[in-house]
Amino acid sequence: MAAIDTQRVLDVHHWTDRLFSFRTTRDPGFRFENGQFVMIGLPVDGRPLLRAYSMASANHEDTLEFFSIKVPDGPLTSRLAQIQEGDQILVGHKPTGTLVQDSLLPGKRLYLISTGTGVAPFVSIIKDPEVYDRFEAVVLVHGCRFVEDLAYGEQIVDNVLKDEILAEIIGDKLHYYPTVTREPYERKGRVTDLLRSGAVSGSFGLPPLDPDADRVMICGGPAMLADMVEMMKDMGFSEGSASRPGHYVIEKAFVER
């Protein structure tokens, strides 16, 4: 079997000048864990040009979904931003990644902390019924520069809560905390500051972050990841992996396109 498949683009949605999402067909044999990523791309000059993308669809869905930034001179995203319904894209066979449930110790609450396109793996995770079995509360935090950058996440949360089956499973367990840094908005500030100050947990009536009860998944840019890791360590959280589950896991949002 070839290491890369071809899938058909089903639809494309441009959210802003810099952000778009698209759905493709899914090979029934393509299995993944919610939160994982895979290499996807396009043939360029006869060779596959691939980058890592988190699945933004859940593993129980028939189609695949991806959320991407557009970098004007990015070798892949400048081309990927042109794709249209019916086009073919390349999808690798080996999903992988650290944002998976088994890398976390059991806990009461799951915090999903993201900036920018780092929300993509959490879109998959908030659609996972099992997550609501494991945790009493799931808190999705999404920090962006501008209000319009929040649109994709907002729409997904809306859809998830409108889905009859998921809504029943989720009940009142899912808490959504969108925030922006560069223009006025009801929730303002960097995700790091809002977590540290207790603004996030407090707004849902939850206790301050505590390694005994809280588990954290983090996905964003390199500076945000570095600051989050420092904060986690200060608070007594330990990093988890598949071989040794812990209190938090991180993955960089894939933005070098």
Residues of the shown chain interacting with ligand A2P in the complex, contacts defined by CB under 6 A: 115-116, 143-145, 181-182, 190-192, 221, 223-224, 227
Please state, in angstroms and rounded to a whole number, the distance separating the CA atoms of residues 124 and 54. Answer: 9
In the complex with ligand A2P, the residue whose CB is nearer, 7 or 68, is 68
CB of 111 to ligand A2P, least distance (A): 14
Residue 222 makes CB contacts below 8 A (sequence gap 6+) with: 252
In the complex with ligand A2P, the residue whose CB is nearer, 55 or 253, is 253
CB of 89 to ligand A2P, least distance (A): 24
Please state, in angstroms and rounded to a whole number, the distance separating the CA atoms of residues 9 and 201. Answer: 39
The total number of residues written for the chain in this structure: 257
Class of residue 58 by CB neighbours under 10 A (exposed 0-12, middle 13-18, buried 19+): buried
CB of 242 to ligand A2P, least distance (A): 26
Neighbours of 172 (CB within 10 A): 7
In the complex with ligand A2P, the residue whose CB is nearer, 76 or 144, is 144
In the complex with ligand A2P, the residue whose CB is nearer, 9 or 235, is 235
In the complex with ligand A2P, the residue whose CB is nearer, 14 or 182, is 182
Structure letter (DSSP) for residue 101: G
Terminal CA-to-CA distance of the chain, rounded, Å?
A: 27
CB of 189 to ligand A2P, least distance (A): 8
CB of 151 to ligand A2P, least distance (A): 14
The residue type of 10 is L
Q: Residue 140 in 3-state DSSP?
A: strand
In the complex with ligand A2P, the residue whose CB is nearer, 19 or 100, is 19
CB of 117 to ligand A2P, least distance (A): 8
Please state, in angstroms and rounded to a whole number, the distance separating the CA atoms of residues 136 and 131. Answer: 9
